[in-house]
Amino acid sequence: MTAADYRERLTAVGITDPDRILTLAARTVRQIRGEEPGTSALEDRWYRSLTAGAPDYGIYDDEDYLAEAWACWQVYSRHYLYCLRRPKGCPPDGVAAALQPVTRLADLGCGIGYSTAALRDLFPGADVYGTQLPGPQADIARTHGVTVHTDVQPDTDVVFASEYFEHFQEPITHLQHVLTAARPRALIIANTFTSPSAGHFPEYVVTEDDTLYGGHRTVPGRTASRLFTEELHRHGFREMPGVNIWNHRPRIWVQP
């Protein structure tokens, strides 16, 4: 899962200048890690669209977003999967082993499919699929042999969501949909509601459907994060006991 491998996959789906994408991705990684100042042009475009009152969801189909997706894999998803594998994360054998048996697992917003492919190795024997809207990211995911659906499927007992829910302006409503449609017994979630990024929102909407919170309102990311956790509790989920992952990223939620 090297940059050279990604270059080959970019070429395979018709990207004419994969080295440009990799150069952008390397810069984005440095910016995420605070090693270089500034933000990506795609992130600037996204926040300008929010200021104008018309979220530009076209960023997800832009070739430059393939750089964002690779940076996300490099900085975030790859590390989360490592945390699931390492024994000290949940002694004696790690989180992935403790969640077994897993029959069906969804990688929500699987993007370019590297995390989905890694999850197949981490949960051998499980039916592992990704969710992603049609476009360049889904095309690359399929080069891994990943099955890609546009929405979560029923009878999915484990859900993996890395940097996913913060891309929905109404994340709690979407969480409710996932819980109802998939009926999972466990969720592996890493959210960053308070961090700016292409596709994230400075404020989130809690709609009138979220009756627990008293009707439609807009809340900052920190409040959205708290309400998201409360919603999981309301559906009977609790953090998995015995898990020792630094900073709770990802957080493991299970039905007791």
155 class by beta-carbon count within 10 Å (0-12 exposed, 13-18 middle, 19+ buried): exposed
Structurally, how many domains does the chain consist of?
1
Chunk the chain into consecutive blocks of 10 residues (it has 256) and report each block's average pLDDT, rounded to whole numbers. 94 97 96 91 96 96 96 96 96 97 97 97 96 96 97 97 96 95 97 94 78 69 93 96 94 94
Q: What is the pLDDT of residue 1?
A: 76
- What is the CATH number for 17? 3.40.50
Amino acid of residue 96: A
Q: Which of 117, 109, 159 is nearest to 135 (CA)?
A: 109
Task: Find the domain containing 40 and state its range.
Answer: 3-254
The length of the chain, given as a count of residues: 256
| Chain centroid, CA 52 distance in Å | 26
Q: What is the pLDDT of residue 218?
A: 87
CB 24 within 8 A of CB 66: no
CA distance 16 to 61: 15
pTM above 0.85, yes or no: yes
What does the longest C-alpha to C-alpha distance in the chain come to?
A: 52
Enclosing H/E stretch for 232: helix 221-234
Across-strand partners of 204?
Answer: 219
